């Protein structure tokens, strides 16, 4: 389980099929083989960890299913990614409950300056649109964000300067695809409603 509060930006430094090697600023002694790391919002298992200076290098194995349904299939060495370690009991829940189970991808339609912030609008597949509501939560590339407005298969969010600086969002451009996880509660409510008598 995660919160959508990114605590590091890492870099993909190697790829061998579905195995990725990622450099991070997390000290190696804070990571565990078999532990979970949210990489651009995808919950992945660390399979090896090594120290590198004050940071670390770790590997993750990604299935064909995950590569096909997320942006991970397009990752290449040099790719910058958002990282978040798994939530521990007792830690502050600063964002919202995020599982790391990506539902699909969203396309950035446009980016408009709004003071020092930036407003992003997205288009999502039709089957995911019902799970997105104004003032609800979404995780986009692993970042917990509040939905501002919704219209059919499009929705908008506002990113403050801090988020643009400490995540990969400051380098995003229209047309790019990002990983989307809808709100956990919306997912379960929709499923329950399917079984209403």
Query: What number is the average pLDDT over the span 137-155?
Result: 96
Taking all residues of the chain, what is their mean pLDDT, rounded to a whole number?
Answer: 93
Hey, which residues does 73 pair with through a beta bridge?
A: none
pLDDT in tens, 187-196: 767 766 777 6
pLDDT digits (tens, 9 = 90+) for 14-56: 999 999 999 999 999 999 999 999 999 999 999 999 999 999 9
Structural domain boundaries in the chain: 8-85, 104-194
Lowest model confidence (mean pLDDT) among 44-48, 85-89, 106-110, 149-153: 85-89
101 pLDDT band, cuts 50/70/90, is very high
* CATH assignment, 8-85: 2.40.30.20
Please state, in angstroms and rounded to a whole number, the distance separating the CA atoms of residues 100 and 83.
11
- Give the tens place of pLDDT for each residue, 65-98: 999 999 999 999 999 999 999 987 666 666 678 9
Cα angle: 33, vertex 184, 180; to 5 degrees: 75
Are 83 and 39 contacting, i.e. CB atoms less than 8 angstroms apart? yes
Enter the DSSP assignment of 45.
E
Distance of CA 186 to the CA centre of its chain: 18
DSSP code at position 26: S
Domains 8-85 and 104-194 fall in the same CATH topology: yes
Q: What is the CATH topology of the domain spanning 104-194? A: Elongation Factor Tu (Ef-tu); domain 3 (2.40.30)
Tokens 């000290």 label which residue?
Answer: 27
**Helices (H), strands (E): how many in the chain?**
3, 12
This prediction's pTM = 0.92
């Amino acid at each position: 389980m995660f919160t959508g509060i990114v605590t590091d930006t890492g870099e993909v430094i190697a790829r061998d099929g579905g195995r990725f090697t990622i450099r991070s600023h997390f000290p190696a002694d804070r990571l565990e083989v078999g532990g979970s790391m949210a990489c651009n919002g995808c919950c992945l298992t660390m399979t090896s960890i090594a120290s590198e200076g004050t940071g670390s290098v770790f590997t993750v194995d990604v299935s064909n299913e995950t590569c096909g349904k997320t942006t991970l299939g397009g990752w290449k060495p040099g790719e910058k990614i958002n990282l978040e370690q798994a939530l521990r009991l007792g830690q502050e829940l600063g964002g919202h409950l995020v599982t790391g189970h990506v539902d699909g991808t969203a396309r950035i339609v446009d980016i408009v300056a709004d003071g020092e912030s930036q407003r992003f609008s997205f288009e999502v597949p039709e089957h995911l649109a019902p799970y997105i509501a104004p003032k609800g939560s979404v995780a986009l590339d692993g970042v917990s964000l509040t939905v501002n407005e919704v219209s059919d298969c499009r929705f908008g969010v506002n990113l403050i300067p801090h988020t643009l600086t400490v995540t990969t969002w400051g380098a995003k451009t229209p047309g790019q695809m990002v990983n989307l996880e809808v709100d956990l509660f919306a997912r379960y409510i929709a499923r329950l409603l399917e079984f209403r008598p």
